[in-house]
Structure 1
Amino acid sequence: MSITTTDAALLRLLQLSSASLPVGGYAFSQGLEYAVDAGWIKNLADTREWLSLQLMESIAHVDCPLLLRCHRALQAGDEESLHYWNHYTLACRETRELRLTDTATGSALMRLLTQLQIEPPLFEGETSFVAAFAFAAHYWQLSEQSAALGLTWSWLENQVAAATKLVPLGQTQAQQLIGEIQQLVPVALTRAQALNDNQLGAGLPALAIASARHETQYSRLFRS
């Protein structure tokens, strides 16, 4: 996937995908906290495997291709398709906590945009972070490829930050991990772009189990 962007668009992309964006993404581990507590993840290698699998089999099959569809719907002014893909995204979340991750950050991004004097679309029901991210990218005239890259980076940075606290990883190990998984991102985005509608979706049983069991974990640092 070839990505080109102007300096102004690049600055907006950095803003939108920054860990400092006040949407609360840092509060969610997406099952990682339970996986560490259960002993499934013990070190850097385990973390690399856990995140790489999510990137290639979940982010590339759900979040990114659905972001592309939301962005295209916005480009075409197709409100019906935008609502459809927003609901589709939420339906792909396998547990209550994974859905909460999506809706809590999505609602927070929508509130932020409103506070920035940007009028977002009125979604029917809850708003996924994917759809809200697509709208912000569209509003700031980012290409769909740039938007997908930004969304993937946002996920990766938050997950590595969580792993740094939980595994735990040292700061150098965390940077090593980001560098290694970055190499998979172009492949994941190319895969996402090539999927047909009937190929969307993912099933990662260990991730779903970790997320569900995290709801009753005795001691937690993260919301999910």
Structure 2
Amino acid sequence: MPDATKTQAAAAGTGACAPAGHDLATLLTLFTASFPIGGFAYSHGLEAAVREGAICCAEDAAGWVALLVARGSGWNDLVLMAAAHRALRAGSVGALAELGDLAAALAGSAERRAETRLLGDAFAAAARPFLAGTQMSDGAAGAGALPVVAGAVAAAAGLRLDHALTAYAHNFSSGLVSAAVRLVPLGQSEWVAVMAELRSSVASSAARASVSTLDDLGSSALVSEIAAMRHETLETRLFRS
């Protein structure tokens, strides 16, 4: 992962200025639970973890999500998103397909591979109004793994990488905490408290990812990967992953 100096530089750059009004409106549209890609149907293995007793309260949920964003599948998503953003900015549309294949290979279970691909396709379709007149207006780079599509769309829409990474990390975290609200269950006030606690993880991981390379890919969230595999064999379930 990036060293401390690079991370501090990225964090400083992220805080240098807030998104302009137009870009902020785009971020708030693309990276929210209401963006119509069907993210509410996936728990990313969290349902199995709750069923097995690994997540029983708000504190457990916060720790689970923070780990994913810092050193798990969420971190890998941010690194892949950053690579896709840079590729599109450099005009390397062909590199997006390779990044999509890499993202699929990093998914530790069949459900997670289906999750990232289906959500990526849905994201590309839903984002079309933002892509008129851009490199992606013809849909040539508009399908594949979610973080790759999200990075390419953000670049095509002219969004700054650090802002887009923060928005993605926040949306990733919010989706999992919302799943925990239904599964644990948690109260709405606990949802707010968990999201407040996750702010530092979201910001620091996005800052690190903004200066990352593909060499920084890697996950140590093995329990989450195992939970995602076990979810596939649950007899009854609310979520698709």
TM-score, normalised to structure 1's length?
A: 0.92
CA distance in 1, matches of 2:33, 2:60: 24
1:11 aligned to 25, 35, 47, which one? 25
From 72, 91, 103, the equivalent of 2:105 is 91
- Taking only aligned residues, the RMSD between alpha carbons, in angstroms, comes to 1.9
Distance in 1, matches of 2:214 and 2:131, equals: 34
Deviations 1:84-110 (A, max 9, x none): 222212211111111111011111112
How far off its partner does 1:219 sit?
1.2
Give the TM-score, by structure 2 length.
Answer: 0.86
- Using the TM superposition, give the Cα deviation of residue 53 of structure 1 relative to its aligned residue in structure 2, in angstroms: 0.9
Is the deviation greater in 15-24 or in 109-118? Answer: 109-118
Q: Spell out, residue by residue over 1:98-147, the C-alpha distance to the aligned partner (whole angstroms, 9 max, x if none).
A: 111101111111222347774254359x6011121112212221111111
Asked if the contact 2:36–2:122 (Cα under 8 Å) also holds between the matched residues in 1, the reply is: yes
Checking the alignment, whether the CA contact within 8 Å between 1:74 and 1:138 is kept in structure 2 is: yes
Give runs of aligned pairs for residues 1-224 of structure 1, distance below 5 A: 1=11, 2-3=14-15, 4-59=18-73, 61-114=75-128, 118=132, 119=137, 121-123=139-141, 127-224=144-241
CA distance in 1, matches of 2:167, 2:34: 14
| Counterpart-to-counterpart distance in 1, 2:73 and 2:108 | 14
When residues 141 and 117 of structure 1 are mapped into structure 2, their CA distance, relative to the original with a 3 A threshold, is closer
Q: Which amino acid aligns with 1:210?
A: A
Corresponding residue pairs, total: 223
How much has 1:161 moved relative to structure 2? 0.6
* 2:177–2:191 CA contact under 8 A, matched in 1: yes
* C-alpha distance in 2 between matches for 1:115 and 1:18: 16
Distance 1:120 1:72, change over 3 A: farther
- Contact preservation (8 Å) 1:60, 1:188: no
Aligned partner of 1:122: which letter?
A: A
* AA at the equivalent of 2:27: L
**Structure 2: which 5+ runs fail to align?**
1-10
Distance 1:199 1:6, change over 3 A: same
1:113–1:120 CA contact under 8 A, matched in 2: no
Distance in 2 (CA, whole Å) between partners of 1:218 and 1:133 is 33
Distance in 2 between the 1:177 and 1:120 partners?
40
Distance 1:33 1:108 in 2: 22
**Residue identity matched to 1:26:** F
CA drift at 1:150? 1.4
The range that moved more, 186-195 or 168-177, is 186-195
Contact map agreement 1:148 1:189 (CA 8 A) in 2? yes
The whole-number CA distance in structure 2 between the counterparts of 1:128 and 1:69 is 13
